[in-house]
Amino acid sequence: MLPERLARAITLGGPMPVARFMAAANAHYYGTRDPLGAAGDFITAPEISQMFGELVGLWLADLWDRAGRPLVHYVELGPGRGTLAADALRSMAKAGLEPQVHFVETSAALRSAQERAVPAAIWHEDVTTLPDDAPLLIVANEFFDALPVYQLVRRGAAWHERLVACQDTMFLPIAGKSVPDEVVPDALRDAAPGSIIESSPASVAVVRALAKRLAAQGGAALIVDYGYEGPALGDTLQAVKGHGFANPFDAPGEQDLTAHVDFATLGGMAEMSGAKVFGPVAQGDFLGLLGIAERARSLARVHPDRGEELAEAHRRLTHPTEMGSLFQAMALVGKDWPDPAAMG
């Protein structure tokens, strides 16, 4: 059992960084179940409606068309049930784009769901083994939010690494050793006691690797997630279980742990690694510019019985009080590729 294993590791080695706790919890969580959908713990945009994946597919196909219709690979990071990929591949095929499909996925449980949705896919443990012989069209929806974050907490006049301790069977966050002020961005150094800042070296590493590929091979990446333009103060680590919020330090491996994505930091790193960066823009605006309203109406004309469901899905994906503003879309594009559509 993971809680026992983590408790033992803490007893032997001392409290562990929040990032290590989060990585172990999510590896177990995703590795042992399909968490998506009504019967699971949470729902994502492609699971709300086929319109999401279809519009992402059209966005990619448009860019590919304007790039001169080269041979390309479709790559998805953390494809969940494969729903987004299946919907995107269908709309890309209508535009004449039929790429080879590569999935980066560590969860055995989700790989089998993905295999049912896209049988021809090729799976990868991480981005290092992706093909290097052609441009990549990369999609990552709610992938980066699952990658581990480190946290620093302000206590007294110093910043401390935030660690996870264990008391009997209970996990709880504590302040560990102090860190040099230099690791904290200037503007945030004198924050009030109790303030927290986060960083995600794992996300930075993936974005840099992708940006280098795009610079060398061409192509584009679409990153959609809930996030902010940091670095900023804030504890965004959260747990979701059965469609409700839970204490992130409870029941490791049995609930989904996420943190908001720092788009400004990731975008800056991508630029440094040679990619052009666009956005982030609000998901509602992105889908609006890609014609989600028209798509909902034309689907409703073909399926009159689904009119209400489609209107509701349109609202959930785009309305500011639903996913429209909290979720953001950012694009990374190879230097010789055209600028993407719908990025404001």
Q: What own/partner pairs with CB < 8 Å and gap ≥ 24 does 177-186 have? A: 179/152, 183/152, 183/159, 184/152, 184/159, 185/231
CA distance 192 to 339: 42
Query: Please, which residues have CB within 8 angstroms of residue 177's CB and are 6 or more apart in sequence?
Result: 160, 161
Pick the closer one to ligand SAH by CB: 73 or 276.
73
Per-residue x/- mask for ligand SAH, residues 5 to 34, rule CB under 6 A?
---------------------x---x----
* Shortest spacing between CB 147 and ligand SAH, in angstroms: 6
Q: Tell me the CA end-to-end span of the chain in Å, nearest whole number.
A: 47
In the complex, minimum distance from the CB of residue 320 to ligand SAH, in angstroms, rounded to a whole number: 20
Among 17, 37, 100, 106, binds ligand SAH (CB under 6 A): 106
Write each residue from 34 to 53 as x if it is in contact with ligand SAH (CB under 6 A), else as -, in one continuous string: --x-------x-xx------
Q: Counting contacts by CB under 6 A, is residue 200 touching ligand SAH?
A: no
Interface with ligand SAH (CB under 6 A), residue from 3, 15, 57, 80: 80
84 is an interface residue for ligand SAH by CB under 6 A: yes
Q: Which residues are 226's β-sheet partners?
A: 327
Q: Would you count residue 104 as binding ligand SAH (CB under 6 A)?
A: yes
Contact residue for ligand SAH among 15, 53, 78, 218 (CB under 6 A): 78
Q: Is omega for the bond preceding 185 within 30 degrees of 0, making it cis?
A: no
| SS (HEC) of 307-330 | HHHHHHHHHHHHCCCCCCCCEEEE
Residue 87: CB partners within 8 Å, gap ≥ 6? 46, 50, 52, 53, 54, 56, 57
Establish if 107 lies at the interface with ligand SAH (CB under 6 A).
yes
Q: Is 211 in the site for ligand SAH (CB under 6 A)?
A: no
Contacts with ligand SAH: how many residues (CB under 6 A)?
Answer: 20
Shortest distance, CB of residue 23 to ligand SAH, whole angstroms?
8
141-160 binders of ligand SAH (CB under 6 A) = 141-143, 146-147
Least distance CB 137 / ligand SAH (angstroms)? 15
| Per CB under 6 A, 87 contacts ligand SAH | no
Q: Helices (H), strands (E): how many in the chain?
A: 11, 16
Beta carbon nearer to ligand SAH, 113 or 251: 113
In contact, 75 and 121? CB cutoff 8 Å = no
**How far, in Å, CA of 270 to CA of 265, rounded?**
9
Query: Based on the number of CB atoms within 10 Å of its own CB, is 54 exposed (0-12), middle (13-18) or buried (19 or more)?
Result: buried
Task: List the structure tokens of 182.
Answer: 């230099």
Q: Tell the smallest beta-carbon distance from residue 312 to ligand SAH (Å).
A: 18
Tokens of 251: 């029941």
> Stretches 77-85, 247-255, 284-292, 336-344: which one binds ligand SAH (CB under 6 A)?
77-85
For binding to ligand SAH (CB under 6 A), which residues are involved? 26, 30, 36, 44, 46-47, 78-80, 84, 104-107, 110, 141-143, 146-147
